[in-house]
Structure 1
Amino acid sequence: MVVLKVKRGDETLFLYETNVGEKTDSVIRDLVAIYNGQLKVQRVCMEIEELAEHGTMLPSEMIGLNDDQIEELKLKDIWADKCIPSGGFTFNKDPMLRRNGQQPNEAMGKVLANTITEAKAMIDKNLAKSSKTLSLKAVQEAINLLRGAVTIVYPMQLPPHDTIRMEFTNTEDLSGTQASKEVIEPSKAQLWFAGRQIFMGKLLKDYLGNNDKTKVVVKLNQLGEGPPGREAVISEQMRRQMMADSFRRQEELKMSLL
Structure 2
Amino acid sequence: MVQLHLKRGDESQFLFNTAADVSVETLVQQVAAIYNGRLKVDRICSEMPELAEHGVTQPPAMQGLTEEQVVELKLKDEWGEKCAPSGGSVFTKDDIGRRNGHAPNDKMKEVLKRTVDEAKALISKKQVQASVCVTMEMVKEALDQLRGAVMIVYPMGLPPHDPIRMELENEEDLSGTQASLQVIPESECQLWWAAKELHKEKKLQDYIGKNEKTKIVVKIQKRGQGAPAREPIVTEEQQKQMMMHYYRRQEELKKLEDADDDSHLDSAWSDRQALKRQFQGLNNIKWGPR
TM-score by length of 1: 0.95
Distance 1:145 1:251, change over 3 A: closer
Amino acid aligned to 2:149 = A
**Equivalence for 1:225:** 225
Amino acid aligned to 2:46 = M
Could you tell me how far 1:115 is from its partner in structure 2?
0.7
Amino acid aligned to 1:108 = M
**Equivalence for 2:214:** 214
Distance 1:90 1:249 in 2: 63
**Equivalence for 1:114:** 114
SS of alignment partner, residue 115 of structure 2:
helix
Distance 1:72 1:3, change over 3 A: same
SS of alignment partner, residue 80 of structure 1:
coil
TM-score by length of 2: 0.85
Distance 2:58 2:174 in 1: 18
**Equivalence for 2:238:** 238
**Equivalence for 1:183:** 183
Could you tell me how far 1:32 is from its partner in structure 2?
1.1
Amino acid aligned to 1:59 = P
Mapping 1:24-173, distance limit 5 Å: 24-173=24-173
**Equivalence for 2:204:** 204
Distance 1:251 1:160, change over 3 A: closer
SS of alignment partner, residue 180 of structure 2:
helix
Structure 2 residues not aligned, in runs of 5+ = 261-290
Could you tell me how far 1:249 is from its partner in structure 2?
5.3
Worse-matched range after superposition: 184-193 or 248-257: 248-257
Could you tell me how far 1:153 is from its partner in structure 2?
1.0
Distance 1:145 1:221 in 2: 29
Mapping 1:14-33, distance limit 5 Å: 14-33=14-33
Distance 2:114 2:247 in 1: 50
- Higher relative contact order, structure no. (Cα contacts within 8 Å, ≥ 6 residues apart): 1
Amino acid aligned to 1:109 = K
Could you tell me how far 1:211 is from its partner in structure 2?
1.2
**Equivalence for 2:284:** none
Deviations 1:67-122 (A, max 9, x none): 11111100000001111111110111111211111100111111111111111111
SS of alignment partner, residue 241 of structure 1:
helix
Q: CA RMSD in A?
A: 1.7
Amino acid aligned to 2:74 = K
Distance 1:186 1:48 in 2: 27
Amino acid aligned to 1:242 = M
Distance 1:234 1:87, change over 3 A: same
SS of alignment partner, residue 114 of structure 1:
helix
> Percent of aligned positions with the same letter in both sequences?
52
Distance 1:241 1:45 in 2: 36
